Amino acid sequence: MRRLDDHRTLVTGAASGIGRATVLRLLDEGAAVVAADIAADGLAELRAAAADRGAADRLTPLDMNVGDEDSVVDGVRVAVDTLGGLDSLVNAAGILRASHTEQTSTELWNQIIGVNLTGTFLVVRQALPALLVNPRATIVNFSSTSASFAHPYMAAYAASKGGIQSFTHALALEFGGRGLRAVCVAPGSIKSGITDATPGYVPADSDWSLFAKLSPILPTDLESGGAGMGDPTAVAGVIAMLVSEDGAFITGTEIRIDGGTHA
């Protein structure tokens, strides 16, 4: 299915996990994509995967750090110039760190908020002028099931994702009259670089029984740290729907994609 011929999109966090799967799905559906990340090796692998699909001519890798304002200003300008405009923006970039809340330093708190929440804001702010030229543009931001359901040792991460959800609702109301849609996806129990690394971030003296409710109820062959996980393509398919005309009446909400983890 090619719902996105002539569609122009910028995807952050594109070098791995859900961001990578999203780029490949959008390319499969006909979109032209600027894929932004700070991981050069991951972007090179993404370019190779796009070439295998015969879509290398519609992919532009971009070195951009969402946690750095100057990098975002320059990167979004390059993306808009490269694509000749912008029809959608997908903010998949993010980091996860875990610690006991009483041991969380201000530096760590600010790092997580700075990349996840402020980074999302910076990219949206810079992309808005180009998006608003198009009367049917879309922003898809990445929240998380942690924004609404307890995830132990991840207070800063959860706060950043809850902020993204609130930010997205505000965008939807502010710009809905101009045709711009703003939606969150809230993945949970999806295999990615973040989930693979999570056991290494969790404090050594953690109470692992607190993670008992964080497993999908749908069967899956994938896992991270011994827990069942869904495939990133499950989220990518939802994002492709949201930025296409099939999502034309969806805005100001979040879509949870977690295999029933929080059913």
How far apart CA 92 and CA 257 sit, in angstroms, is: 14
Write down the residue that tokens 């929440």 correspond to: 117
If you write DSSP's letter for every residue of the chain in order, what string do you get? ----TT-EEEEESTTSHHHHHHHHHHHHTT-EEEEEES-HHHHHHHHHHHHHTT-GGGEEEEE--TT-HHHHHHHHHHHHHHHTS-SEEEE---------GGG--HHHHHHHHIIIIIHHHHHHHHHHHHHHHSTT-EEEEE--GGGTS--TT-HHHHHHHHHHHHHHHHHHHHHGGGT-EEEEEEE-SB-SHHHHHHHHHS-TT--GGGGTT-S-SS--SEEETTEEEB-THHHHHHHHHHHSGGGTT--SEEEEESTTTT-
Q: Please report how the helices 69-83 and 119-133 are oriented relative to each other, as an axis angle in degrees rounded to 10.
A: 30
157 catalytic? Reply is yes
Q: Which of 157, 167, 193, 243 is catalytic?
A: 157
Q: Is residue 99 within 8 Å of 108, Cβ to Cβ? A: yes
Q: Which of the residues are catalytic?
A: 157
